[in-house]
Structure 1
């Protein structure tokens, strides 16, 4: 009986690790002026934001400036990061494709993907999914 109870508790513990909300570490921009992190609601299926990847933008004093719904679903592979120079956010998503946002006046504006931005997205993907 004790062995069965231990097995059940271990199963519940490991299962809860896979079915909890996700919050990434803060990723500092190359200029040091901003940080981003990603979050995913993996637990509240009734919420409008269920399983969507959100990017949260912070200034260097850790004040939240904005958040944006990337439109990518968490069921697929994805990653976020910055361009090597400047304050451009890059998203690599295997379900909706790559996206990028430039920062103007502490606000995000989506920009057209270029070969350079797609190469950066591919690099971020290769780093996350080694």
Structure 2
């Protein structure tokens, strides 16, 4: 009986992880001027952002500047972070590939991936999924 109860509780615990919304911690940019966090809507299937990784950008005063739908799906592995220098957001996604956005006038503008940006994306991925 104990064994069955344990299996049921473990199943409920793992299932609840997949049926609740996700919100990452805030990640400060190297310059200290910005912070980002990622969210995923895992519960409202009727919403336009269902299962997409959304990046939220905050300024120095912790004021929300904008949000960005990355197009990355939560069904695959992904991670976000910053370049080591400057204010460039990097996304590594196993379903849509790597993307980067540079911040100009507090707004993200997607830029072409370079070898250096791809290396950073892969490093962030390796750190998250050790």
Question: What TM-score do the two structures reach when normalised by structure 2?
Answer: 0.91
**1:34 partnered with 2:1:** no
1:45 Cα deviation from its structure 2 partner: 1.0
Distance 1:6 1:84, change over 3 A: closer
Distance 1:29 1:11, change over 3 A: same
User: Unpaired runs of 5+ in structure 1?
Assistant: none
| Corresponding residue of 1:94 | 94
Q: Distance in 1 between matches of 2:53 and 2:18?
A: 16
Q: Distance in 1 between matches of 2:122 and 2:62?
A: 28
User: Unpaired runs of 5+ in structure 2?
Assistant: none
Q: Distance in 1 between matches of 2:3 and 2:81?
A: 45
| Corresponding residue of 1:116 | 116
| Corresponding residue of 1:60 | 60
**1:86-111 deviations in whole A, cap 9, x for unaligned?**
00000001111100000011011000
| Corresponding residue of 1:83 | 83
Distance 1:115 1:7, change over 3 A: closer
| Corresponding residue of 1:20 | 20
Distance 1:13 1:119, change over 3 A: closer
C-alpha RMSD of matched pairs (Å): 1.8
| Corresponding residue of 1:126 | 126
Distance 1:10 1:117, change over 3 A: closer
